[in-house]
Chains A and B, each alone.
Chain A
Amino acid sequence: MFRYLSAAALAAAMVLPTLAQAEEPTDPNVNARHALMQLYAYNLGVLGGMAQARMDYDPELATEAATAIYHVSMAHADRMWPEGTEVGATADSRALPAIWENRAEFDAAAQALTASAESAMGSVGTDLASLQAALGGIGQNCSACHRTFRQPE
């Protein structure tokens, strides 16, 4: 009897966490900002791939990628970061509470990215060295925000 009970308990223990997770769907805002960040990563990958000689330098493709980062960054500050969606408060979020404690700094970090992407749009098509210089500026701005506002996994 005891054996069956403990087997049942074990089964319950294994099933319950899954159920608990299923009951708490990821907040749509968290999904939206992950999608936005993935767009950044995709386009940064085009620029970085060329800078690191993982792919051939293509001025048009590079300009497109920088332009995409610029446009994505414009959608950044105002939406998809409502209060109550910080890490721990909702599934899958790694957004640190610092975002809401210091919203002005967070928004400034997004604007800094917009500014560096805007100047990259005009320079990454010139030559590989210009692309590498512009990439450093963009990467710095991604990292600066992740340093303060994103928790490690």
Chain B
Amino acid sequence: MIGRLAGGVAVLAVLAGGAFWMLTRPASLSDETLAALSAHEGDAQAGEAVFWAAGCASCHSAPDLAPGAAPEHRMVLAGGRSFPSDFGTFYAPNISPDVEHGIGGWTLPQFAHALLQGVSPEGAHYYPAFPYTTYTHATPEDIADLWAFWQTLPADATPSRAHDVGFPFSFRRGLGLWKLLNLHDDYATPAFDDAELARGQYLVEALGHCAECHTPRDAIGGLERDQWLAGAPNPAGQGRIPALPPEGWTAFDIAAYLESGFTPEFDTAGGEMADVIENMSRIAAPDRAAIAAYLVALRSSPNP
């Protein structure tokens, strides 16, 4: 009897394990995406625009970088900034083109796999502290341009620092389940016909990862998409990250803030937003206007 029971439990465990294994298997890039990547001739200058819009430097530049440092310094992606969370502390790795300590030895499809699906060249899941749930919406063309820009960046030999997370979160395979719940193919907000609004939506939802800070999270750290940009507790300390669009701000006000950091009352941006503005002040003015137009449009068509 006991033997039969134990046998049954073992079979169940194997079945459950098998299901877990299937469900948490890292996805690969589709043939379509791979074809689009290789068909596109990467343009480094266009890639630089993607770089600032996507804010890679905010996380991957060195932690001791002075505020207002020149763009050359923000482009040294040595890593080392820490991201404390309920699950442990993550450290941004070195993603400079250094072959030993950075990603200099990577191929474009490996780079795209990391950004679009959060999967490493070794086939492991990345932690969502790396905002690939945003970048998953980026076009293969933008990724290829970004990769072309990467080839112009300086290499840095700072070794990456290991994350400080305990079991079970140290078990990356389990992130496959998290991705099933939180890695979405579709945008959080309904599609727009208007070209400027669609561009703004792309910049916010596929590159700018505004929601990573401005949207509240559930117990397992997933974004609450029905509370899109509704404001959230400040993960870096006390206080709240404000809701978007801010009450009473016009599209002009928002675009001006993204360019200069000045609010309509001429207070100036602080906290982590100061860093976001260092990136946003370097994108094209029509792109800032598109972000502002998208945010203002959310006011009239509330969360889905």
Q: Which residues of A contact B (CB under 8 A)?
A: 37, 41-42, 44-45, 48, 51-52, 87-88, 94, 96, 135-136, 139-140, 142-148, 150-153
Contact = CB atoms under 8 A, between A and B. Distances in A.
15 contacts: A37-B267, A42-B266, A44-B266, A45-B265, A48-B260, A87-B238, A94-B239, A139-B268, A143-B67, A146-B269, A146-B274, A147-B270, A147-B272, A151-B234, A152-B271
A143 B277 contact: yes
B237 A151 contact: yes
B67 A153 contact: no
Nearest to B255: A52
Contacts of A152: 234, 239-242, 270-271, 273
B237 A48 contact: no
Interface residues on B, range: 20 to 34
A88 B237 CA distance: 12
Contact of A143 (B234, B239, B241, B274): B274
B156 interface: no
Interface in B240-290: 240-242, 256, 260-262, 265-275, 277
B68 interface: yes
Given A44-B268, A48-B260, A139-B268, A147 B67 contact: yes
A37 B237 CA distance: 22
Interface of B: 67-68, 234, 237-242, 256, 260-262, 265-275, 277
A41 B261 CA distance: 12
A96 B274 contact: no
Please give me the 7 A-B residue pairs with the lowest Cβ-Cβ distance, nearest first.
A146-B270, A45-B266, A147-B274, A142-B268, A144-B67, A152-B239, A151-B239
Contacts of B265: 41, 45
Given A147-B67, A152-B240, 7 more contacts: A45-B265, A135-B260, A139-B261, A146-B274, A147-B272, A151-B237, A151-B238
B234 A136 contact: no
A51 B262 CA distance: 11
Nearest to A46: B266
Contacts of A146: 268-271, 274
Contacts of A51: 260
Nearest to B256: A52
A143 B261 contact: yes
Contacts of B261: 139, 142-143
Contacts of B274: 143-144, 146-147
A147 B262 contact: no
A139 B260 contact: yes
A87 to B, nearest CB: 6
A5 to B, nearest CB: 34
Task: Report which residue of A41, A51, A139 has the largest number of chain B beta carbons within 10 angstroms of its beta carbon.
Answer: A139
B262 A44 contact: yes
Nearest to A42: B266
